[in-house]
Amino acid sequence: MKKVIYLVVSLIMLISFNLFAVTVSIPNKSGTPNSTVEIPVNIDNASNVVGFKFKISFNNNVLSIKEVVSGSLTGNWNILFNKNNPGLVIIAGCPSNNQSLSGSGSLCILKFDVIGNIGDSSNLNFTFSQLSDISAQLIPHSTQNGLFNVIGYTISGKVTLVGGSSSVTSVVLNLTGTITKTTNPDSSGNYSFTNLPTGNYTITPSLSNYVFSPENKTYTNLNTNVSNADFTGTAQYTLTVSSNYGSPSPPTGTNTYLHGTTINASVSSPVSGLTGIRYVCSGWTGTGSVPASGSTNSLTFTITQNSTLTWNWKTEYKLTKISNPSDGGTIISTNNAEWYQSNSTVNVQASPNNGYIFSNWSGDLTGTANPTTITMTGPKTITANFLKKDFTISVQPEILDILLEGSNITKEANISIQPINNFSDSVSLSASLSPFSNYISFNFDKNSIIPSETAKINFSISQNTTPDTYIVTINAQSQNASHSFDLKLIINTKVYLPDISAVSPSTVEIPVYVSNANRISKFTFKISFNKDILSFMEAKIGSLTSGWTISSNTIEPGVISVSGNSSGSLTGEGSLCILRFNVSGSLNSSSNINFVLSELKDNNNTPIPNKSSGGILTISKIKGDLNNDKSIDISDVILCLRMAIEIDPPDLNLADMNNDGSIDILDVILVLRKAIGLN
């Protein structure tokens, strides 16, 4: 009987132990409006748990269930939940691999959106709780409900002061926005604004003679706690700058700086005043953080208290030294300076260059004493006058006008020296050519001369020289003087028309020749002729202008214009174009063919020097006068007939009367008509 009672008591104790050994609980939590909170469903002392099901109620005006996810013990479990009933969530879970769990941790995590306002709360109560083991048997356990409170947000931070003597507790922090508050930091600089509803806020610190960084902090739509709203307040000091001249940095007046600022102070020196007057910084005096004195126009210091800086100045006058002429010599003054302190005495000395002598002083210093002194009572200008031995150079002729025709051309010019101020030195001669040409050579008959002598410069110009205007710079150099003279060489190409003997009537081709076509890329001619003898037909390309564009027109009777151009340029000698004329006139009559205009240009549209000459066309034969007896009669008819039947060789110039390129019976008839006076 005692054994039975013992067994019953032991069973009851065991059951009681099992009922309370496993606990499923929801912890108390808090959160801010409009946030998402995670609330775990915890289990303690779990053993062989393979499934659970819970029903948890909550205030759906405070919380809105978002989702349920696995807990720390159920990472590989399948978790299902139902949130279709307002204020209630049903959760079930089981392992995906039939393995049970043991120990303590969370079975699942409830994720809620906080929709309540500050001060609201919600109970989190188990309305149903069930655990099962691998044998599908329920596991006895106890449950503990939780509580969720909606709290406001906190903005906190720390204020730090740099420099100065104020206490951090004197700083005032103003909170403005959705609500307004004011607070002061504690002795460590820490402060906070608590239980703030969602909204827009700005925190602004203030303390006299301090500048805060940042000036303020702004939070828009505050929906989380802020713990780094920190501010640093730096003490600021004044630096008062004084200066009679210039533009100091920092500027004159009162300037404000933060504690510990490194200041690079300077003033530009010298400062210009009226003409010939300037002011030179002689240093500074200072108080506070500025060193007491110095002799430069710049300094660097760190400001830690209110300070003053005064820039000091001295007056200087300019000594202007002029050499007349500028290359006649120099003026040496004390220290060879340009500016001197007011009322100082300056030593001056005129030093002539080679070939010069000192003459006298002028300006603010007069006389011939050398060296001498001058007192700087104001700006001064002194002139040292020098005399120079010199010469001039002359060349005759000054222009050599040369026409390229035939073989090499030789020319010469005379060079002489005219002395100035008893100049008698020997003068060396040299020359240079611009632009350079290998086809122009020159030499002197003397390499140096004295004023009583004359030298010659001899030129040899090749026919191949490019037509152009060349400058021969003749340099004359003595020990102390040099001069030059530019002799101009105008190298002309020759543009010309040949003399022509012609038959009347006939067509003639007259070439326009050029003796040297180098550089030519354009030409324009105006040509006059006897309109009673010649009738212009056309202009064609010449031997040099294949591929060129040739154009022509009659300006007026007896005057034509012919032009040609190309993208390239020519070289060599030949014809630029061919002029075709009809010839009609009496025997021995003639026409001058002259250039009214002859213009040649290169690719840069630069004119090319040229000289033009016309030609003469003379009618030396009459068509039909086959025996050249200056009349047309039966003898000429017989000669034409002999040519027509090929007894005599043909003379197309005289016998081809109809210009068809052959001599036949038609030509015989035309000669006969002339012989009997019908034509």
How large a percentage of the chain has pLDDT more than 90? 78
Question: 140 and 56, same structural domain?
Answer: yes
pLDDT of residue 7: 37
Whether residue 41 contacts residue 111, with contact meaning beta carbons closer than 8 Å, is answered with: no
The Cα–Cα gap between 485 and 480 comes to 18
Question: 160 and 141, same structural domain?
Answer: no
The Cα–Cα gap between 288 and 239 comes to 9
Asked if pLDDT for residue 307 goes beyond 60, the answer is yes
**Least confident window among 42-46, 200-204, 431-435, 478-482:** 478-482
Question: 145 and 60, same structural domain?
Answer: yes
The Cα–Cα gap between 402 and 491 comes to 5
The Cα–Cα gap between 570 and 566 comes to 9
Domain boundary, last residue among 100, 126, 150: 150
Asked if pLDDT for residue 1 goes beyond 60, the answer is no
Record the tokens describing residue 386, joined without a space: 């020098």
Whether residue 635 contacts residue 530, with contact meaning beta carbons closer than 8 Å, is answered with: no
The Cα–Cα gap between 43 and 141 comes to 9
The Cα–Cα gap between 283 and 296 comes to 5
Instruction: Give the CA distances from residue 311 to residues 237, 246, 279, in Å, rounded to whole numbers and listed in that order.
Output: 20, 10, 12
Query: In terms of Cα–Cα distance, which of 615, 659, 649 is closest to 505?
Result: 659
pLDDT tens-digit readout, 512-521: 999 999 999 9
Q: Residue 448 sits in a domain of what CATH number?
A: 2.60.40.10
The Cα–Cα gap between 216 and 576 comes to 90
- For the chain, report the end-to-end CA distance as a whole number of angstroms: 184
Asked if pLDDT for residue 10 goes beyond 60, the answer is no
Mean pLDDT value across the chain:
92
What number is the average pLDDT over the span 606-631?
Answer: 90
Instruction: Give the CA distances from residue 419 to residues 9, 392, 453, in Å, rounded to whole numbers and listed in that order.
Output: 153, 7, 11
What number is the average pLDDT over the span 535-539?
Answer: 96
Query: In terms of Cα–Cα distance, which of 544, 617, 610 is closest to 580?
Result: 617
Domain count, the chain: 5
pLDDT of residue 613: 96
Q: Is 522 contained in some domain? A: yes
403 forms beta bridges with 492
Q: Is 322 contained in some domain? A: no
Q: What global pTM score does this model have?
A: 0.46
Whether residue 233 contacts residue 202, with contact meaning beta carbons closer than 8 Å, is answered with: no
Q: In the chain, how many H helices and how many E strands?
A: 4, 52
Record the tokens describing residue 479, joined without a space: 């020990």
Q: Residue 530 sits in a domain of what CATH number?
A: 2.60.40.680
Q: In three state form, how does the secondary structure of 296-320 look?
A: CCEEEEECCCCEEEEEEEEEEEEEE
Spell out the residues 6+ positions from residue 320 whose beta carbon is closer than 8 angstroms to its own. Answer: 276, 338, 379, 380, 381, 382
Determine how many CB atoms are found less than 10 A away from the CB of residue 338. Answer: 11
pLDDT of residue 667: 85
pLDDT of residue 620: 86
pLDDT tens-digit readout, 63-115: 999 999 999 999 999 999 999 999 999 999 999 887 899 999 999 999 999 99
Q: Is 209 contained in some domain? A: yes
The Cα–Cα gap between 670 and 679 comes to 8
Q: Is 265 contained in some domain? A: no
Question: 634 and 593, same structural domain?
Answer: no
Question: 97 and 35, same structural domain?
Answer: yes
Determine how many CB atoms are found less than 10 A away from the CB of residue 372. Answer: 16
- Give the containing element (helix H, strand E) for 409: strand 409-420
pLDDT tens-digit readout, 156-188: 999 999 998 899 999 999 999 999 999 999 999
Confidence band (pLDDT; 50, 70, 90) for 230?
Answer: very high
What number is the average pLDDT over the span 591-614?
Answer: 96
pLDDT of residue 173: 97
Question: 564 and 478, same structural domain?
Answer: no
Confidence band (pLDDT; 50, 70, 90) for 6?
Answer: very low
Q: Residue 671 sits in a domain of what CATH number?
A: 1.10.1330
pLDDT of residue 223: 82
pLDDT of residue 238: 93
Range of 633's domain?
Answer: 626-675
pLDDT of residue 19: 45
Whether residue 69 contacts residue 144, with contact meaning beta carbons closer than 8 Å, is answered with: no
Whether residue 348 contacts residue 373, with contact meaning beta carbons closer than 8 Å, is answered with: yes
Asked if pLDDT for residue 645 goes beyond 70, the answer is yes
- Give the containing element (helix H, strand E) for 17: helix 2-21
pLDDT greater at residue 137 or residue 641: 137
Domain boundary, last residue among 135, 150, 165: 150
Q: Is 385 contained in some domain? A: no
Whether residue 315 contacts residue 272, with contact meaning beta carbons closer than 8 Å, is answered with: no
Question: 644 and 540, same structural domain?
Answer: no
**Least confident window among 15-29, 475-489, 573-587:** 15-29
Domain boundary, last residue among 132, 150, 168: 150
Q: Is 537 contained in some domain? A: yes
Whether residue 533 contacts residue 585, with contact meaning beta carbons closer than 8 Å, is answered with: yes
Strand pairing category for 574-583 and 482-496 = unpaired
Asked if pLDDT for residue 258 goes beyond 80, the answer is yes
Asked if pLDDT for residue 2 goes beyond 60, the answer is no
Question: 593 and 560, same structural domain?
Answer: yes
How large a percentage of the chain has pLDDT more than 70? 97
Question: 535 and 440, same structural domain?
Answer: no
Question: 484 and 505, same structural domain?
Answer: no
Enter the DSSP assignment of 226: B
Asked if pLDDT for residue 20 goes beyond 60, the answer is no
Q: Is 641 contained in some domain? A: yes
Residue 266 DSSP SS3: strand
Asked if pLDDT for residue 632 goes beyond 70, the answer is yes
pLDDT tens-digit readout, 315-356: 999 999 999 999 899 999 999 999 999 999 999 999 999 888
Residue 336 DSSP SS3: helix
Q: Residue 215 sits in a domain of what CATH number?
A: 2.60.40.1120
Q: Is 272 contained in some domain? A: no
The Cα–Cα gap between 627 and 643 comes to 13
Question: 547 and 589, same structural domain?
Answer: yes
pLDDT tens-digit readout, 126-156: 999 999 998 889 999 999 999 999 988 999 9
Asked if pLDDT for residue 361 goes beyond 60, the answer is yes
Question: 134 and 14, same structural domain?
Answer: yes
